C-alpha cells in the first residue's frame, strides 16, 4: 500500500502537540524546511526538537512558539552565528521560555544510537571534564566496571518522530540518501515513527537497484511526502546547492522579534504550500543554485 500523503496530512497525523521530533540530521544539507514551515502553520505546541547542528530551522520553530525543549548540540544559523530567536527564548523567555539539554554532536548521536539498539545508555569518555555535563541532567558520570575509570553514560533518546529528507524514495518509504548523512540513520532507527520527504518519487526497481544506498527500513516509515525543493535553502546533493544569501537575509531580518514576525508572515503564514513558497523565489536565483557539473558514481555490480 502506498504511503504517499501531502505534507499537511503527514504533519497532522504524526507530529501532534508535545512530540519529540528529530530533524535536520545531516548537519548542513537536507534540512526539511518545508516540514518545519507546515508545523508552524498547523500551530503545533510543546515540541521537543532533537538534532545536531540544526541551522536556522530550529530558530524558526522557536520563534513561532512551537518549542518547549531543545536536545541538541547547537542552535543557530551556521554561516551567520547564533539564532536570534533561540537567544531571545533562552535569555528573555521570548516568545516563551524553553528548556535546553546540551549535547555535543558526538553524544547526541550516541543517545540516538542507544535507542536504536534498545540499550539504556552508551558509555563514553567524551565530554568528561567539559561543562556540557553540567548543562544536561540526563548525562551521568559513573565508574567503569572494567577498570574503575570515570565514564560518561549517555542515556537513550527516542524521538516520537524522525523527519528524513531524501533525494529519492519509492511510495513505501524505501529511500536513497547520499552525500552527508550525519546522524540520519541513527535517528531513523531510534524513532517510533518516520516521515520521509523526497525530491523524487521513483519506482521500487530504482531503489532495489542499489540497496546499499537505502537509509533505513521502510517498515518504520509512516508517511512519504513528495516535496521538490523541500530542503531549500539548504543543499541537496545532486539537486541544488545551498542558498547562502537566504541565510544571511534571514539573520539580518530576525535581529528583532518584530522583524522575525514580519519574516514569518511573508515566508510561512502567507504561503500555504512549498510550491507557493518557491514561486516567490527569483527564477535566476534558483538557476544559479542548480547543479552545474554532474558527477555520477561508477556503476555497482550486484551480480551473482
- How confident is the model at residue 1, as a pLDDT? 82
Q: Rounded mean pLDDT of the chain?
A: 95
Q: Are 231 and 165 in contact (CB under 8 A)?
A: yes
Domain boundaries, the chain: 7-104+158-287, 120-155
pLDDT band at 146 (very low <50, low <70, confident <90, very high): confident
If you average pLDDT over residues 187-193, what whole number do you get? 98
Report the relative pairing of strands 99-102 and 67-74 from DSSP bridges: parallel
Answer for the pair 58, 83: CB distance below 8 angstroms, yes or no: yes
Query: Using only C-alpha atoms, what is the Rg of the chain?
Result: 19
Confidence of residue 144 (pLDDT cuts 50, 70, 90): confident
CA distance 219 to 207: 15
C-beta separation of 57 from 32 below 8 A = yes
| Lowest-confidence segment of 17-21, 52-56, 278-282 by average pLDDT | 52-56
3-state per-residue secondary structure call for 29-76: CCCCHHHHHHHHHCCCCCEEEEEEECCHHHHHHHHCCCEEEEEEEECE
Per-residue pLDDT at 55 exceeds 90: no
Mean of the pLDDT values across residues 41-68?
Answer: 96
Average pLDDT over residues 156-178: 98
Burial grade of 261 (CB within 10 A; 0-12, 13-18, 19 or more):
middle
**With respect to CATH, is domain 7-104+158-287 assigned 3.20.20.70?**
no
Q: In terms of pTM, does the model score above 0.85?
A: yes
Q: What is the mean pLDDT of residues 218-230?
A: 98
Lowest mean pLDDT, pick from 54-58, 95-99, 225-229: 54-58
* Mean pLDDT computed over 135-160: 92
pLDDT band at 10 (very low <50, low <70, confident <90, very high): very high
Give the Cα separation of 244 and 80 in Å (integer).
9
| Structure confidence by residue, pLDDT tens digits, 265-288 | 999 999 999 999 999 999 999 999
Cell 536565483 appears where?
A: 285
| pLDDT value at residue 129 | 87
What whole-number percentage of the chain has pLDDT above 90? 91
Question: What are all long-range contacts of 258-264, with beta carbons under 8 Å and residues at least 24 apart?
Answer: 260/63, 260/84, 260/85, 264/40, 264/60, 264/63, 264/64
- Band the pLDDT of 145: cuts 50, 70, 90: confident
Q: Are strands 150-155 and 121-124 parallel, antiparallel or unpaired?
A: antiparallel
Is 54 a residue whose pLDDT tops 80?
no
Which residues have C-beta within 8 Å of that of residue 261, sequence separation ≥ 6?
Answer: none
Question: What are the tens digits of pLDDT across the range 235-276?
Answer: 999 999 999 999 999 999 999 999 999 999 999 999 999 999
Task: Among 76-80, 120-124, 154-158, name the one with the lowest average pLDDT.
Answer: 76-80
Amino acid at each position: 500500500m502506498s504511503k504517499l500523503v501531502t505534507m499537511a496530512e503527514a504533519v497532522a497525523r504524526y507530529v501532534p502537540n508535545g512530540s519529540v521530533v528529530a530533524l535536520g540530521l545531516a548537519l548542513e544539507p537536507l534540512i526539511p524546511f518545508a516540514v518545519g514551515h507546515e508545523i508552524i502553520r498547523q500551530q503545533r505546541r510543546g515540541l521537543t526538537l532533537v538534532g545536531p547542528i540544526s541551522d536556522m530551522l530550529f530558530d524558526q520553530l522557536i520563534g513561532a512558539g512551537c518549542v518547549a525543549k531543545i536536545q541538541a548540540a547547537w542552535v543557530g544559523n551556521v554561516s551567520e552565528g547564533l539564532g536570534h530567536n533561540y537567544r531571545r527564548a533562552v535569555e528573555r523567555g521570548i516568545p516563551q521560555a524553553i528548556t535546553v539539554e546540551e549535547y555535543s554532536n558526538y553524544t547526541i548521536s550516541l543517545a540516538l544510537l542507544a535507542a536504536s539498539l534498545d540499550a539504556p545508555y552508551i558509555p563514553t569518555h567524551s565530554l568528561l571534564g567539559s561543562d556540557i555535563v553540567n548543562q544536561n541532567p540526563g548525562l551521568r558520570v559513573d565508574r567503569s566496571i572494567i577498570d574503575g575509570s570515570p565514564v560518561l553514560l549517555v542515556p537513550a533518546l527516542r524521538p516520537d518522530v524522525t523527519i528524513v529528507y531524501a533525494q529519492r524514495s519509492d511510495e513505501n518509504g524505501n529511500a536513497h540518501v547520499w552525500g552527508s548523512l550525519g546522524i540520519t540513520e541513527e535517528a531513523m532507527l531510534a524513532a517510533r515513527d518516520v516521515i520521509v520527504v523526497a525530491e523524487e518519487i521513483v519506482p521500487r526497481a530504482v531503489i532495489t537497484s542499489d540497496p546499499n544506498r537505502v537509509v533505513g527500513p521502510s517498515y518504520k516509515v509512516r508517511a512519504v511526502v513528495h516535496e521538490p525543493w523541500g530542503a531549500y535553502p539548504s543543499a541537496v546533493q545532486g539537486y541544488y546547492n545551498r542558498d547562502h544569501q537566504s541565510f544571511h537575509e534571514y539573520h539580518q531580518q530576525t535581529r528583532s522579534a518584530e522583524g522575525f514576525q514580519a519574516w514569518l508572515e511573508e515566508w510561512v503564514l502567507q504561503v500555504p504550500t512549498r510550491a507557493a513558497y518557491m514561486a516567490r523565489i527569483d527564477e535566476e536565483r534558483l538557476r544559479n543554485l542548480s547543479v552545474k557539473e554532474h558527477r555520477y558514481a561508477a556503476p555497482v555490480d550486484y551480480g551473482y
